């Protein structure tokens, strides 16, 4: 659409408004159309933007006027310090991995795939269809749109061995994104002040949600094959913990996938300790040389609580995820999501269901596999060629990231600053450790930036390391 053209009018009018007295009348739409050689639609859009920004106001039937500009006096909010007290749980305000970056840098830090890896046409069509459907004006049940619950259940059921009981649609609770699912799980299954076992390193969003809820994290070392089952058993016994948070497929940040044997041993330990395994299958759609088979498919006694998100693979604007749990755990989860969010937008649920039930979704997923493989290999090659000091412990068989070890003497903060000064943004690994980091790492996202820039990025990291 005429996005740029409307922006141009907004800028020009803002300049004029800045020097105009409060209450001054803007030229008529017709006059603006002719002055800016733009369509009436574009001019109206610009006026709506300026109204939204609070700099003009329209009085129907009279005209559009410059709003009274009011001086913003510096205020003293010091009294709040006493009222707020010390926070019960300290949270970081801005997380580097969520930073938005300007277009002219190579952004290796983000946790999302590039727009070109998304099923853009499917998403737009599905949203347009949902806008015409009943879902656009209706409230949905607290646990989710029944057809979407069915879809999540049947996706997981497709991995369940024939003789076992597959999950039912009623085991599914739809969520406004998986981050809120993490808080819900930690509140419902663990609770403030109680221990939660977690792989180390692990997803910073889970570490953040744990801080918000106030659960006590107990790190379990995890290698390329998964967490060590003996260590897990020892820590369960020692702490009396009743839950373990893990990512069996393409763990964020390391990219590790638990082997089938290891997964079986971990599940046995969890069962023996009468505990829950919170399986975060965030990368379900991002397999490259293997498939992400949910560990939840091997559990029939309600030990595994399964978290599956569509946000990263469908679109960041489709904030839809699901929790699949059985027994009393499911009831407690639903009570928490109800108190937290009441229900999820029906438009987003309808659009998500539409996307994942189109035949073209399968085609898209097959294409994505190839694109991720190519991008991953390009970044691996670039690092091997240009950044010999960066050590890649293994090449992940899925996911979006490489987890690169640096020399122990590396000053990560300085490195990140040096890289940024040269036009590359990296995420330093410390954020992914629930306690002290076990080494100096970078997490490099190969799915976000333009792969053509990988060699240059690798050279810049090497230069910063060498400097």
Subset of residues 177 to 196 that bind a second copy, contact rule: CB under 8 A: 177, 179-180, 183, 187-189, 191-192
What does the alpha-carbon distance between residue 136 and residue 130 come to, in Å, rounded to a whole number? Answer: 6
What is the 3-state composition of the chain as percent helix, strand, coil, each rounded to the nearest 5? 45, 15, 40
Applying CB under 8 A, among 2, 29, 150, 371 the residue interacting with a second copy is 150
Applying CB under 8 A, among 98, 260, 374, 435 the residue interacting with a second copy is 98
Output Rg (C-alpha) for the chain, integer angstroms.
Answer: 25
Q: How far is the CB of 385 from a second copy (least distance, A)?
A: 32
Q: How far is the CB of 36 from a second copy (least distance, A)?
A: 19
Applying CB under 8 A, the site for a second copy has a residue count of: 127
> Closest Cα partner for 230 from 188, 272, 168?
272
Stretch that binds a second copy, among 77-85, 225-233, 395-403, 447-455 (CB under 8 A): 77-85
| Contact set for a second copy, span 322-341 (CB under 8 A) | 326-329, 331-332, 334-336, 338-341
61 binds a second copy (CB under 8 A): no
Token pair listed for 118: 């998304």
360 binds a second copy (CB under 8 A): no
Stretch that binds a second copy, among 25-33, 70-78, 218-226, 418-426 (CB under 8 A): 70-78
Q: How far is the CB of 299 from a second copy (least distance, A)?
A: 11
Neighbour-count burial for 302-319, b at 16+ CB within 10 Å, e otherwise: ebbbbbbbbbbbbbeebb
Place of tokens 């397999």: 287
| Contact set for a second copy, span 404-463 (CB under 8 A) | none
> Which residues lie below 8 Å from residue 370, measured CB to CB, with a gap of 6+?
none
77 binds a second copy (CB under 8 A): yes
Which is nearer to a second copy, 166 or 437 (by Cβ)? Answer: 166
Applying CB under 8 A, among 62, 132, 408, 467 the residue interacting with a second copy is 132
11 binds a second copy (CB under 8 A): no
Which is nearer to a second copy, 141 or 407 (by Cβ)? Answer: 141
Q: Give the other-Cβ count within 10 Å of 167's Cβ.
A: 24
Token pair listed for 333: 């989860």
Q: How far is the CB of 455 from a second copy (least distance, A)?
A: 27
Q: How far is the CB of 418 from a second copy (least distance, A)?
A: 26
Which is nearer to a second copy, 300 or 459 (by Cβ)? Answer: 300
| Contact set for a second copy, span 227-246 (CB under 8 A) | 242-243
Cα Dmax for the chain: 78
What does the alpha-carbon distance between residue 419 and residue 359 come to, in Å, rounded to a whole number? Answer: 43
Instruction: Indicate the SS3 state at residue 319.
Output: coil
| Contact set for a second copy, span 262-291 (CB under 8 A) | 274-276
Q: How far is the CB of 72 from a second copy (least distance, A)?
A: 5
Instruction: Indicate the SS3 state at residue 344.
Output: coil
Applying CB under 8 A, among 65, 96, 101, 154 the residue interacting with a second copy is 154
353 binds a second copy (CB under 8 A): yes
Beta strand 276-280 with 304-309 is parallel
| Environment class of 138 (CB within 10 Å of its CB; exposed 0-12, middle 13-18, buried 19+) | exposed
Which is nearer to a second copy, 208 or 389 (by Cβ)? Answer: 208
Beta strand 321-324 with 172-175 is antiparallel
> Which residues lie below 8 Å from residue 257, measured CB to CB, with a gap of 6+?
226, 248, 249, 250, 251, 290, 292, 396, 397, 398
Which is nearer to a second copy, 79 or 409 (by Cβ)? Answer: 79
The 8-class DSSP code of residue 398 comes to: B
Phi (first) and psi of residue 293, to 5 degrees: -90, 120
> Closest Cα partner for 206 from 235, 175, 244, 179?
179
Applying CB under 8 A, among 96, 302, 423, 455 the residue interacting with a second copy is 302
81 binds a second copy (CB under 8 A): yes
211 binds a second copy (CB under 8 A): yes
């Amino acid at each position: 659409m005429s996005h740029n053209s409307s922006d141009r009018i907004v800028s020009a009018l803002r300049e004029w408004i800045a020097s105009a007295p409060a209450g001054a009348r803007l030229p008529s739409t017709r006059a603006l159309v002719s002055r800016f050689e733009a369509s009436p639609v574009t001019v109206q859009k610009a006026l709506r933007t300026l109204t939204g920004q609070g700099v003009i106001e329209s009085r129907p039937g009279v005209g559009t006027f410059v709003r009274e500009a009011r001086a913003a006096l510096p205020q003293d909010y010091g009294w709040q310090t006493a009222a707020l007290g010390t926070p019960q749980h300290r949270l970081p305000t801005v997380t580097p991995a969520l930073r938005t970056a300007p277009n002219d840098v190579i952004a290796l830090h983000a946790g999302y795939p590039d727009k070109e890896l998304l099923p853009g046409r499917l998403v737009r069509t599905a949203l347009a269809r949902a806008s015409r459907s009943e879902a656009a004006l209706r409230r949905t049940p607290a646990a989710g749109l029944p057809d979407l619950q069915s879809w999540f259940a049947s996706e997981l059921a497709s991995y369940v061995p024939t003789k076992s009981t597959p999950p039912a649609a009623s085991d599914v609770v739809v969520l406004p994104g998986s981050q809120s699912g993490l808080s819900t799980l930690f509140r419902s299954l663990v609770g403030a002040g109680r221990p939660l076992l977690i792989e180390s390193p692990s997803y910073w969003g889970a570490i953040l949600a744990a801080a918000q809820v106030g659960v006590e994290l107990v790190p379990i070392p995890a290698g390329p094959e998964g967490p060590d089952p003996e260590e897990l058993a020892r820590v369960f016994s020692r702490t009396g913990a009743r839950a373990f948070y893990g990512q069996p497929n393409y763990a964020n940040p390391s990219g590790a996938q638990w082997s089938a044997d290891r997964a079986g041993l971990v599940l046995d330990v969890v069962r023996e300790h009468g505990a829950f395994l919170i399986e975060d299958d965030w990368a379900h759609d991002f397999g490259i040389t293997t498939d992400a088979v949910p560990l939840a498919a091997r559990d029939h006694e309600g030990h595994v609580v399964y978290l599956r998100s569509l946000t990263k693979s469908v679109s960041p604007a489709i904030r839809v995820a699901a929790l699949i749990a059985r027994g009393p755990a499911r009831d407690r989860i639903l009570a928490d999501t109800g108190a937290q969010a009441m229900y999820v937008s029906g438009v987003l649920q309808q659009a998500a269901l539409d996307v994942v039930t189109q035949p073209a979704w399968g085609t898209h997923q097959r294409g994505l596999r190839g694109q991720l493989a190519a991008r991953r290999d390009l970044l691996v090659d670039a690092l091997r060629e240009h950044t010999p000091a960066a050590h890649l412990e293994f090449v992940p068989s899925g996911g979006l990231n490489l987890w690169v070890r640096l020399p122990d003497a590396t000053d990560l903060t300085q490195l990140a600053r040096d890289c940024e000064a040269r036009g590359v943004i990296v995420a330093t690994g410390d954020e992914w450790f629930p306690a002290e980091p076990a080494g100096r790492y970078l997490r490099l996202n190969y799915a976000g930036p333009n792969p053509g820039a990988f060699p240059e990025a690798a050279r810049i990291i090497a230069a910063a390391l060498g400097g």
